[in-house]
Structure 1
């Protein structure tokens, strides 16, 4: 599948070039790459916000081509929920309840049912019920973002697509947000697709990684496969997770790691064995 911006005009530019991959149902897939590598362009094909210039995108049992009619895409938009960067900028209703209920009502849900759904979604994203009758613009930035995510979840998607969902949040807020997505993945079996510059989040949560560069998919695999070659990462303007970088620095003090730990738990386990057994110099 390929995508060209402003195809057929003098301003045409390649967005994606011959990308072929499969995102498995129930997986937690991270998409990484430097700015301008094609990550967000790829995301927008996952619910047909963009359609491929050549090739096909298969979403469930629907095959999307350049000729696909826009009128019949509602079921896909409901199945694949998109959370854009700074999602709180999309809030517009007078109350939190109305904002969350807007999407379901737009897709044909009765108002009373949509209100119940809004109350349930507020719980799901970790907000108190008393926010329902407040204006979303009276909430903190982190709370506003949760409201926006609740509005996407109210559509009952089976796939949640996240474009830098923690951008601008403090470390505690970022951590809370990522744990919330992990709960959705584990407890509801939701397929997660995450675009991020945070390599720690890739190591901690993803089970599959796609690496984009200049519109090409240049590598895919497990986090361990992606992070095993530091020089390759550096060549593509990517870094190691902090834990892996720390372990690499500890090797200079005589510690040995096999495999290179990607998470704090892995690092702690290997250090405990070495310190307890006197394995380092």
Structure 2
């Protein structure tokens, strides 16, 4: 299921003294089965775009097409609930949304809200726990007795319980240590590859963009400045810096090696494995030249 923005604009509190334009002239496509990263500094419009992905907000101008459903400023709210099932959003610090007395009941809440019986909802919760790295023993535990990372996994399972076609992640690793961040992102990538989910990642973590995304959209002042494959956009380190954005640590190190040793990396390495392999090849070539 594709999601397409066409000339989308959004204004908060229009027609009042507090009117504020958040988005203008947004044109972008989230392709089915893609892993798309949306980046931009604070105030660039990321959160507002995110809320248009499942019609939590309707555009002030232009239109958003979600699958075969077209959303404009004049769209009726009736029937939008089904879109929330197709496009699941994991908000920043999702563990703050937990409220049920057991993990199983919390995960089952969404499916029950869409018509499943309590027994069916609990069975779905039981099936989902392994997908988020938890086992069946968590079913009867209170979510409030878990660690922060475990609580986040339960909240994510609650979104997955609705069987979305698109999973939107709003800074999903905020507040986690490096190991916890890697575990969560690896989990999302596994879901993307094995479950066929379309994933939209809103993040400041450029290392995550480099490692996982196959498409990257850069927002600035409420509109799309550039988009493309991360490998192409990360070549423009100076331009990204002007947008108050950085580059992945691997790319930064590769640029430093290019300057110091006059090496040329082609293609630009995005991960440590890619960088290590190219360095190994270059050093072997230099050794061969010295023989």
Q: TM-score, normalised on structure 1?
A: 0.97
Q: Which residue of 2 aligns with 1:227?
A: 234
Q: Which residue of 2 aligns with 1:186?
A: 193
User: Hey, what's the Cα distance between the residues in 2 that align with 1:250 and 1:11?
Assistant: 50
Query: Which of 234, 237, 245 in structure 1 is aligned with 2:252?
Result: 245
Q: Which residue of 1 aligns with 2:35?
A: 28
Runs of at least 4 residues off by over 3 Å: none
Q: Which residue of 1 aligns with 2:284?
A: 276
Map residues 149-164 of structure 1 onto 2, 5 A cutoff: 149-164=156-171
Q: Which residue of 2 aligns with 1:38?
A: 45
Question: Quick check: 1:264 aligned with 2:272?
Answer: yes
Cα distance, 1:253 vs structure 2: 3.4
1:105-164 Cα deviation digits (max 9, x unpaired): 001112111111001111110112111101100000000000000000000001000000
Query: Which of 109, 130, 134 in structure 2 is aligned with 1:127?
Result: 134
Number of residue-to-residue matches in the alignment: 281
The answer to which of 242-251 and 157-166 deviates more is 242-251
Map residues 199-238 of structure 1 onto 2, 5 A cutoff: 199-238=206-245
Any unmatched runs of 5+ in structure 1?
none
Map residues 92-171 of structure 1 onto 2, 5 A cutoff: 92-171=99-178
User: Hey, what's the Cα distance between the residues in 1 that align with 2:137 and 2:15?
Assistant: 52
Q: Which residue of 1 aligns with 2:85?
A: 78
Higher relative strand content:
2
User: Hey, what's the Cα distance between the residues in 2 that align with 1:181 and 1:169?
Assistant: 15
Any unmatched runs of 5+ in structure 2?
1-7
Query: Which of 47, 57, 62 in structure 1 is aligned with 2:64?
Result: 57
Q: Report the secondary structure of 2:150's partner residue.
A: helix
Query: Which of 7, 16, 21 in structure 2 is aligned with 1:9?
Result: 16
User: Hey, what's the Cα distance between the residues in 1 that align with 2:82 and 2:116?
Assistant: 14
Q: TM-score, normalised on structure 2?
A: 0.94
RMSD: 1.3
